[in-house]
Amino acid sequence: MTRSMKTAVYLIGAGPGDPELLTLKGRRCLEAADCVVYDHLVNRELLQFAPGGAERVYVGKQGGHDHISQTEINSLLLARARQGKTVARLKGGDPFIFGRGGEEAEVLAGAGVPFEIVPGVSAGSAAPAYAGIPLTHRDYGATVAFVAAQQDPTKEDPLLDWGKISSAAQTLVFFMGARSLRQVVEQLTRHGRSPATPVALIRWGTRPSQEVVTGTLESILDRAGPMDPPTLIVVGEVVRLRERLRWFDNRPLFGKRVLITRPRRQAQDFRRALELLGARAISFPTVEVREPDSWAVLDRALETIDQYDWLIFTSVNGVKYFFQRYFRRHPDIRQLKGVRIAAIGPATRRAVLDFNLAVDTLPSDYQAEGLVESLRGKVVKGMRVLLPRARVAREVLPRQLQRQGARVEVVEAYRTAPPDNAPSQWRQVLDESPPDMVVFTSSSTVANLSDLTHPEPLAQSLKGVAVACIGPITAGTARELGLQVDLVPKKYTTASLIEAMEAYFSRKG
């Protein structure tokens, strides 16, 4: 393979499950792919890095049953490469550590197809780290060996020499250990390992669904019970350190599946905050924010923007789309000189501050009623007020300001609609285990999900799922649609919502 030849296939290590463990190079290769071929152990969140039009082909092997044979996978890689496509072959962990990446590379090399290997973070090191088990430690073990516990049954001479393996290293890490635990225990004790040697079983390491069972060679079979793949076995004195170094699976929201219904881009910070607390945050936007069908009304207002007394924002989206249009009409921000600005809450205020503008009024109660109260005596008879917002919104604010004598102009700056692919995504959510909690951050997120589940009532679709709402207005909509609301924070912010979620799950145990 010469340097001048264009790479056709990237054999990419996707890491063990935590999507943030994908390497920068792995992400760059995914972003350039025309076709992504991915395994069962690959976190599907990584597929978002591939271009929207890229072909996605699942070739997972699960529970000992092949979705597609290795020979077929090899043929698929060759076929797509020969079609001139850039192929991202996404493999769990590292492609060259029990990932059959070597076999696929041999096929590509034999066919003269240019390829590159993109190493990944191996589950062999990452899963123990997330379990609080360092594979080496100068007081517990200076050597480590990685072993495939499950061997090819077609080979007459097995590759495992248990006599050598037992004494090969102070720490032993067995891949594919779920169905081989009894054999590992029996063979190690038969070949000299003390029955008192500590053992850890780690299933779905680095993910919010991670499970860890510890014991000794003597006790682990009784403690473990049946464990399904993918399970890693760690044998050695280093396992004792888990009690002191456990950091990942003891966080307050660990293992809780939380469904987030707000638009994906707006949910990023919220999602990250939940994940830092150990939750599995599932993005399922029931609302998509789009430009209005026509900018005409907003454009007319922008022509005389300096004649308004107040500019009121009731959402981050209102700020975003207003200024997106504003800078098409005006070269700089000085046209807003003399116009006072009100924001409904802290997030909206931060969005305004990003434009180096001051916010004159921020209510203590982050809803329309609170904003009306904060403007009492400030917005008076005859004042002109511009309210850029969504097409469909509550009328409390403009009506109350009009009663105070203000001339209020409501202009559509953006609109909301259900995402086009929401039905198929909802089916995927239902196919997995149900979430522990669903979070609604606006009335539209509730209403759109209700429309999506029709004709089944929303309450039936979410049976057994806790419901959290960011504020009383959203909670009111949820109750109108038959939901029992379990949680509304005292302050209507995502930070307060997360605190309330911690308290809720703490009570539930």
- Smallest Cα–Cα separation from 430: which of 398, 407, 470, 464? 464
Please write the tens of the pLDDT for every residue from 430-472: 666 789 999 999 898 999 899 888 888 999 989 999 999 999 9
Task: For residue range 110-124, list pLDDT tens digits in order.
Answer: 999 999 999 999 999
**Sign of CA pseudo-dihedral 322, 478, 437, 505:** positive
The whole-angstrom separation of Cα 37 and Cα 12 is 10
Tell me, what amino acid is at 364?
S
In which residue are the tokens 């399970």 written? 231
Mean pLDDT score of the chain: 91
Q: What is the 3-state secondary structure (H, E, C) of 187-222?
A: HHHHCCCCCCCEEEEEECCCCCCCEEEEEECCCHHH
Q: Which residues are catalytically annotated?
A: 39, 61, 176
Spatial distance between the Cα atoms of 110 and 200, rounded to a whole number of angstroms:
41
Please determine, for residue 69, whether its predicted confidence score (pLDDT) is greater than 80: yes
Domains of the chain: 9-120 (3.40.1010.10), 125-245 (3.30.950.10), 257-287+419-508 (3.40.50.10090), 290-417 (3.40.50.10090)
Q: Is 60 exceeded by the pLDDT of residue 35?
A: yes
Q: How far is residue 226's CA from residue 144's CA, in Å, rounded to a whole number?
A: 26
Which of these ranges, 57-66, 286-295, 365-374, has the smallest mean pLDDT?
57-66
pLDDT top residue among 482 and 267? 482
pLDDT greater at residue 162 or residue 160: 162
Residue 307: which residues within 8 A CB-CB, separation 6 or more? 384
Whether residue 68 is predicted with pLDDT greater than 80 in this model: the reply is: yes
At 4 the pLDDT is 47
Prediction pTM value = 0.77
Nearest CA among 211, 141, 202, 209 for reference residue 176: 202
How confident is the model at residue 3, as a pLDDT? 43
